[in-house]
Amino acid sequence: MARLTIDRAQKRFGSYLALDDVSLDVEDGEFLAVLGASGCGKTTLLRQIAGFDKLDGGTIRIGDRLVSSAETHIPPEHRKLGIVFQSYALWPHMTVAENVAYGLTVAGVRDPERARRVAAALDLVGLNGFAERRPGLLSGGQRQRVALARCLVTEPSLVLLDEPLANLDVHLRASMEDEFARFHERTGTTMVYITHDQAEAMALADRIAVMDRGRLLQLATPSALYREPANTTVASFIGEGMVLPAAVLSAPQAGRCRVSVLGVEAVVRCRPDQALSGQAKLCLRARDIGLAAADQAGVSAAVERLSYQGGFFRMEARPSAGADIVLHLDAAEPAPAQTGEAIRIAINDGWIIPDSDPLDKAA
Amino acid sequence: MSLADTATLRTRVEETGLLWGLVGLVALLSLLPIGRLVVEGLAPGGQLSTTALGKVLASPATWTATANSLVTAVAGTLLAVLIGGTVALLATLTDIRARNAFTFCFVLPLMIAPQVTALAWLQLFGPSSTLLKLVGMAPPLGSRNPLYSREGIILLLGLQYAPLIFLTLRAGLRALPKELIEAGLAAGASPLTVLRTVVLPLMTPPLVAGIALCFVSCLGNFGIPAFLGIPGNFLALPTLIYQRLAGLGPGVLSEVAILSLLIGIIAMAGILLQDFMMRRRDFRITTTSSAARPFELGRWRTPVEIALWTFAILVLALPFLGLLSTSLIPAFGVPLNLATATFANYAYVLFEHAASKRAFVNSFLMSAGAATAIVLICVPLGYFIVWKKSRALRLLNLAAELPYAMPGVVLAIAAILLFLRPIPVLNVTLYNTVWIIVFAYLARFLVLGLRPVISGYLQIDRTLEEAAQIAGAGLPRRLVTVIFPLVAPAAVAGALLVFLTAFNELTVSALLWSSGAETLGVVVFSFEQGGDSTYASALAAITVLVTVGLMLSTTLFAQRLPQGVLPWRD
């Protein structure tokens, strides 16, 4: 088990800054997901931790050991970590057992100890009857399990998972997700899980690091990320958040304050130190808003589009006070309004995005 | 230092050591010989002097040979373009059947030694043609074999290298996205119009590349002008060098060095011209999709197939029947029939003639040794070139091409200059041993082995190597346990190309051989020069059988090969 400490990591490809002062700390035994769209730098980050590329600035430490900096570079073969690759990277010329045994052989572990540990690892992933097969004859899920067994047989202190579910069918993903969670529970290994799928990250991770254009935008628990996004990019990326201009009218009381948004007043969540401001940003989720009751204040808007989602409708509406804003909310069957009709939308909850967030340099 | 630091240090030493070892080796094989040659041309015997240069340039023989070389190379290339281009278009773009078998037959002449082709054609025509006698069509005795002429050389060069044009053009046609053809057809153009306005213009790059390759090959060819030109005293640059070197005297080395530099300069001019032509227009193809659906020939299909196969039989089967029939008669001029047919020539070259027996062993061991060594060099070399993107090695990748792009005599002369005197410090003499030929094979054929290995690497998912690295394996172990097994099919293909080419070559060994270090090519050549056409034919027939047998054996592992690494596989 080991902590992973990344301090102000920088990586350039030519003039392009692929990692821009990324700092994060992964606790011993923690399951950290690194989440972002493709090209955000998450794979670059993984390759830095693994040591496939050299760092241009900053440091990476595994446990107490400095493994990467502009001057130091411990090659991947001496970092003692495990990786599950997106493509599984199983060696086609070796059997399943030989694939799993490779790391032990390299480390000088000999039979019968080696055979015992390979059998135990295959047992753990439920593949004990497959030892003599070639990887080419296995299904996608089975290959994934072999890759997992190969990665864990050497008991690495840190395991990196590079979009391990991206190549699997939807129904296989759910069961592999469970498998990863069980593994983490059983082994207590520190895990860094790279993904572009927020549902996957939310379901598995203790904490999630959201990345965009080489920068770390926010590092928080899944719930904090969803409920209290630190900046507008995270707010709109996670859970299809809507970001609206708002004015903070009152000082926070018990974590809430009064705001004015789209011409109506509402009470929403905010930081305890939230200052009064005329230029705040409000993050709304679809579940935070709904059709206003007759006696409730509401934003008047016109329905632009209704799409049936099975059991309920997703309703998109354009407020009359903000021509470039589209609100989306869920409405129960049967549809309460048709396209083109006027509705009133009540704002029941929301989150004032902290306006002075040090992570959000671009804002 | 901690244990971990020592391990890291060892890894670094292993990797940089291997890298610089390879850099040194490639430089030794490619840059050193060419550099030595240039030095000799400018400063013969170590002293700056223009005497040799002046002598060579003032000699009328130099310019006659240069003109002969240029004329035969240009005309041979034109013929090759005509034949290879037409066949490539027909065999790639249309729906003819048995494409694989046809490709194999059409590409075969390229894999057979030029001197064997020359010998086979000589046996086919001429007054003593065993085959023509068999059908009673032999020219009257005393008449000259029509192939002993400039036109004969041009014809055989064209036939020998038409497959080169065929191969480069076919690779280009395969990469042509089908949308480009379909868009033309959809716009209402007929297939012939699409061919003229879309396909051919886009095929300029492979065609020009093929032409350059073909020109350099024709220019450097030794076997064909040696067999067809020397009897009629029609000398090209490579045969002039051979004759000069045979009459070894003081200062002759500097003269042949200058002559071979002259060939090198002409070859380079051809390659630069290709480069210049490619820069003038944009030929980039934007989409990548599956290959085009073949044009349906309809009722023309059978006639086209008959024409193609007739051609293949004419250029392939007939000459080799000529070769075979000559190899079966007891003495040159005796007609072949059931009573005269004999295997005595085969028995003689296989079991009796000492030099010929040695040549089998020499050619086999040297070719196999060169092929093995080249694979052992190319697998780590390809690793650094493709995956480590090492800049030093990418430059050396170009350097490795140099000895192959240069005509073979150029390299042979360079090797003589390098090894005539004992190697300093070691005090070992390679000259007049098999090792000078092995060195020349390594230098000249390195790139033949490297190309398939590089395309093999490009096909492998690199995470397979990274997974081994993460498991703790250092580079030497990764090379042996993971990388080598993965590139093995491509490496074997490369080794086979090297083996076949070296096994059949004459150009290099004709200048480097010595008693005891004969190659098959040299022995066939000396049999023919000594008038022993029957022995020469028997020996040549055996090499053809070995070559075809090895080529056919590749079907066994063809499925595991990257497309296009073996020229004769469709």
pLDDT tens digit sequence for A59-85: 999 988 899 998 888 888 888 889 998
Residue B336 has pLDDT above 80, yes or no: no
Give the pLDDT of residue B529.
83
Of the partner residues A75, A86, A102, the one whose CB lies closest to the CB of residue B471 = A102
Q: How confident is the model at residue B433 (pLDDT cuts 50, 70, 90)?
A: confident
Segment B24-48 shows an average pLDDT of: 81
Answer whether B551's CB lies under 8 Å from B111's CB: yes
When pLDDT is averaged across residues B433-447 and rounded to a whole number, the result is: 89
Mean pLDDT for B253-260 is 83
Answer for the pair A60, A5: CB distance below 8 angstroms, yes or no. Answer: yes
Amino acid at B526: S
Q: What is the CATH number of domain A241-247+279-351?
A: 2.40.50.140
Same domain, B358 and B315: no
Q: B29 in a domain, yes or no?
A: yes
Q: Residue B441 above 70 pLDDT?
A: yes
Q: How far apart are CA A34 and CA A41, in angstroms?
A: 10
- Of A98, A79, A363, A95, give the one whose Cα is nearest residue A212: A363
Share of chain A above pLDDT 90, in %: 33
> Is A81:A159 a contact under the CB 8 Å cutoff?
yes
Structure tokens given for B305: 């197939």
Indicate the pLDDT class of residue A357, thresholds 50, 70 and 90.
very low
Lowest mean pLDDT among A76-85, B292-301, B560-569: B560-569
Give the mean pLDDT of A324-346. Answer: 86
Angle between helices B237-246 and B252-279 (to 10 degrees): 160
- Nearest to residue B114, comparing CAs of B402, B443, B510, B554? B510
Report how far Cα B67 is from the mean position of its chain's Cα atoms. Answer: 24
Residue B344 lies in a domain: no
Rounded Cα–Cα distance for residues B274 and B280 (Å): 11
The reported pLDDT for the residue numbered B465 is 92
What backbone phi and psi angles, to 5 degrees, belong to B236? -105, 175
Are B7 and B121 members of one domain? no
pLDDT band at residue B153 using 50, 70 and 90 as cut-offs: very high
Q: Strand A31-35 relative to strand A190-195: parallel, antiparallel, unpaired?
A: parallel
Handedness of CA B263, B264, B270, B273 (dihedral sign): negative
Residues B236 and B314 in one domain: yes
Give the span between the Cα atoms of B149 and B157, in whole angstroms.
12
Contacts of residue A285, Cβ cutoff 8 Å, sequence gap at least 6 = A226, A239, A240, A241, A242, A349
> CA-based angle B70:B73:B76, to the nearest 5?
140
Kindly report the average pLDDT of chain B as a whole number. Answer: 83
Exposure string for A306-343, b = 16+ CB within 10 A, e = fewer: beeeeeebebbbbbeebeebebbbebeeeeebeeeeeb
CB–CB of A82 and B472 under 8 A? Answer: no
Q: Is the residue at B259 inside a domain?
A: no
Average pLDDT over residues B447-458: 84
Dump pLDDT digits (tens) for A257-307.
999 888 888 899 998 888 888 888 899 998 898 888 888 888 888 899 888
In a domain, B389, yes or no: yes
pLDDT > 90: what percent of chain B?
13
Q: Which of B330, B365, B382 is the last residue of a domain?
A: B330
**Cβ <8 Å between A50 and B470:** yes
- Predicted confidence band of residue A58 (pLDDT cuts 50, 70, 90): very high
Find tokens 């030099």 and name the residue.
B355
Chain B contact probe: residue of A48, A49, A78 with most B CBs at under 10 A: A78
Is the pLDDT at B453 greater than 50, yes or no?
Answer: yes
Is the per-residue pLDDT at B143 higher than 80? Answer: no
DSSP state of A316: E
- Which amino acid is it at B10? R
What pLDDT shows up at residue A35?
93
Q: Given CA atoms B71, B73, B74, B75 in this order, what sign does their dihedral have?
A: positive
Helix (H), strand (E) at residue A160: strand A158-162
Q: Which of A341-350, B117-126, B460-469 has the lowest mean pLDDT?
A: B117-126
What is the C-alpha separation between B413 and B238, in angstroms, rounded? 11
Residue B258 counted as domain residue: no
> CATH number for the domain including B268?
1.10.3720.10
Note if the bond before B127 is cis, omega within 30 degrees. no
Do B448 and B439 contact (CB within 8 A), yes or no? no
Q: Computed from CA positions of residues A169, A175, A180, A181, in that sequence, does the dihedral angle turn out positive or negative? A: positive
B18 and B92 assigned to the same domain: no
* Higher pLDDT pick, B277 / B200: B200
Q: Which has the minimum average pLDDT: B98-112, B148-162, B198-212, B245-259?
A: B245-259
- Judge whether residue B3 has pLDDT over 70: no
Q: Which residues in chain B have their CB less than 8 angstroms from residue A82's CB? A: 470
Question: Which pLDDT value is given to residue B496?
Answer: 86
Lowest mean pLDDT among A60-64, A192-196, A204-208, A330-334: A330-334
Judged by CB atoms closer than 8 Å, whether chains meet at A78 and B7 is answered as: yes
What ipTM describes this predicted complex?
A: 0.81
Task: Name residue A159's beta-bridge partners.
Answer: A82, A191
pLDDT mean across residues, chain A: 87
Minimal CA separation from A106 to chain B, in Å: 6
List, for residues B82-127, the tens digit of each pLDDT value: 999 999 888 888 888 888 888 888 888 888 888 888 888 888 877 7
| For residues A202-208, average pLDDT | 92
CA distance A104 to chain B (A): 8
Q: Are residues B292 and B174 in the same domain?
A: yes
Percentage of chain B with pLDDT > 70?
Answer: 92
Q: Does B57 touch chain A (CB under 8 A)?
A: no
Q: What is the pLDDT of residue B225?
A: 92
Name the residue among B12, B472, B482 with its Cβ closest to that of A91. B482
Contact call for residues B147 and B228 (beta carbons, < 8 A): yes
DSSP string, B53-84: HHHHHH-HHHHHHHHHHHHHHHHHHHHHHHHH
Q: How far is CA A247 from the centre of its chain?
A: 30
Shared-domain flag, residues B426 and B319:
no
φ, ψ for residue A59, nearest 5 deg? -140, 155
> Which of A138-142, B176-180, B216-220, B221-225 has the weakest average pLDDT?
B176-180
> Residue B30: what pLDDT?
84
- At the fourth CATH level, which superfamily is domain A4-227? P-loop containing nucleotide triphosphate hydrolases (3.40.50.300)
Q: Are residues B410 and B528 in the same domain?
A: yes
Closest CB to B472: pick one of A65, A74, A106. A106
**The sheet that has A342-347: what strands, in order across it?**
A289-291, A342-347, A299-308, A312-319, A327-332
User: Do B131 and B28 lie in a common domain?
Assistant: no
Residue B49 lies in a domain: no
Residue predicted with more confidence, B131 or A350: A350
Tell me the H-state helices in B336-459: 344-347, 354-382, 391-405, 408-419, 434-459
Beta carbons of A76 and B466 less than 8 Å apart: yes
Band of residue A190 on the pLDDT scale cut at 50, 70, 90: very high
Question: A-side interface with B, Cβ within 8 Å?
Answer: 50, 52, 65, 74-83, 85-87, 89-93, 102-103, 106-107, 150, 154
**Among the listed ranges A33-37, B331-335, B459-463, B531-535, which one has the minimum average pLDDT value?**
B331-335
| Cβ-contact B226, B245 below 8 angstroms | no
- pLDDT given for residue A175 in this prediction: 79
The model's pLDDT over A221-265, given as tens digits with 9 standing for 90+, comes to: 999 999 999 888 898 888 888 998 888 888 888 889 999 888 888
The angle subtended at Cα B234 by Cα B229 and Cα B239, nearest 5°, is: 65
C-alpha B483/C-alpha A99 separation (Å) is 14
In chain A, where the domains are located: 4-227, 241-247+279-351
Residues B223 and B362 in one domain: no
* B542-556 confidence digits (pLDDT tens): 988 888 888 888 777
The CA distance from B529 to B531, in Å, is 5
Residue A360 has pLDDT above 50, yes or no: no
Measure CB to CB from residue A93 to each of B7, B11, B485 and give the nearest one. B485
Which range marks the domain in which residue B211 is found? 70-250+264-330
Task: Give strand pairing partners of A283.
Answer: A243, A351
CB contact under 8 A, A89 and B472: no
Q: pLDDT tens across B409-423, in order?
A: 888 888 888 888 887
Give the C-alpha separation, A332 to A312, whole Å: 5
Residue B376 lies inside a defined structural domain of this protein: yes
Residues B157 and B193 in one domain: yes
- Contact between A306 and A315 (Cβ < 8 Å): yes
Counting the structural domains of chain B, the total is 2
Q: Which residues of A touch B485 (CB under 8 A)?
A: 91, 93
Q: Is the CB of B11 inside 8 Å of chain A's CB atoms?
A: yes
Same domain as B99, residue B31: no
Task: Name the residue of chain B whose CA is nearest to A154's CA.
Answer: B471
Does the residue B310 lie in any domain?
yes
B181 and B271 fall within a common domain = yes
